[in-house]
Amino acid sequence: MLTFKNTNIACIILLVLTILGHKMYGISWLIYIAILFVYSLIVGYGCYFVSSGFFMPMYCSANTTDKVIAITFDDGPVKGGTPLVLQILMDADVKAAFFCIGNRIAGNEAIIKQIDADGHIIGNHSFSHSTLFDLLPAEKMLVEMQQMDSGLYNVIGKKTRLFRPPYGVMNPNLKNAIVKGNYLPIGWSVRSYDTMAKDADALLQKVTPKIKPGAVFLFHDRCPITVVMLPGFIERVKSEGYRIERLDKLLGLPAYA
Ligand SMILES: [Zn+2]
């Protein structure tokens, strides 16, 4: 299996062989550049594609043939979007998972309480969701994650076990922080790219063919277009004979400590 450890071992072996080859047969130093280039491509792939499990195994979907999926929302709570999403979910009697950003809790406590009271679950999506998050050392990442935990605990009295990386980017430091904090790393199997969508119908047409047994959909409750698309998506899921299960139940994981 392609993992960070295996890739490092293969890279070191290739570099040693290249040194020997250079000394014994005079092969070109350009081979070094080629090896490092391929290494960077593979590591970049592992960082960006969380479902690859390159740095650590991630929970991205359920292994089932049952017609069941889960839906998740990242980057809330936000005043404009989250309450609208909650209303749509309530009308459709659907439970979902919300991966919330810690620094958005203050001032939105009522929304957080509503998410919990409606029977949805809340996961950790870091405190700042900063673009620099992935450059932090593991200790500082963990501080951020725990900051989010305490903010959530102060509002609903629960400590989440589920963590989803900001921007969906993994790296070795984040793996260490997840392990140290005893979090369960959550990915997805269907990334809707709703943050980049321009048209709700087009978004709906794009995601519905991906309704498959065990799929985990990633949406954003901060996106107005997602709010417009959501009722149609839920209707389509149900019309295809699927049910929507809450993420923790679909994956068989504890949502809270
Ligand atoms: Zn996010």
Which domains can be identified in the chain, with CATH numbers? Answer: 4-48 (no CATH), 68-251 (3.20.20.370)
Residues 93, 240: contact at Cβ < 8 Å? Answer: no
CA of 252 to the centre of ligand 1 (A): 23
Three-class DSSP category at 218: strand
125 is catalytic: no
Token couple for 205: 């047409």
CA of 167 to the centre of ligand 1 (A): 5
Each residue's pLDDT expressed in tens, for the chain with a length of 257 residues: 789 899 999 989 998 888 888 888 888 888 888 999 999 999 898 888 888 889 999 999 999 999 999 999 999 999 989 999 999 999 999 999 999 999 999 999 999 999 999 999 999 999 999 999 999 999 999 999 999 999 999 999 999 999 999 999 999 999 999 999 999 999 999 999 999 999 999 999 999 999 999 999 999 999 999 999 999 999 999 999 999 999 999 999 999 99
Q: What's the pTM value of the predicted model, to 2 decimals?
A: 0.92
For ligand 1, an ion, list residues with CB under 5 A. Answer: 74-75
- Residue length of the chain: 257
- 98 to 115, 147, 199: CA distances (angstroms): 8, 17, 23
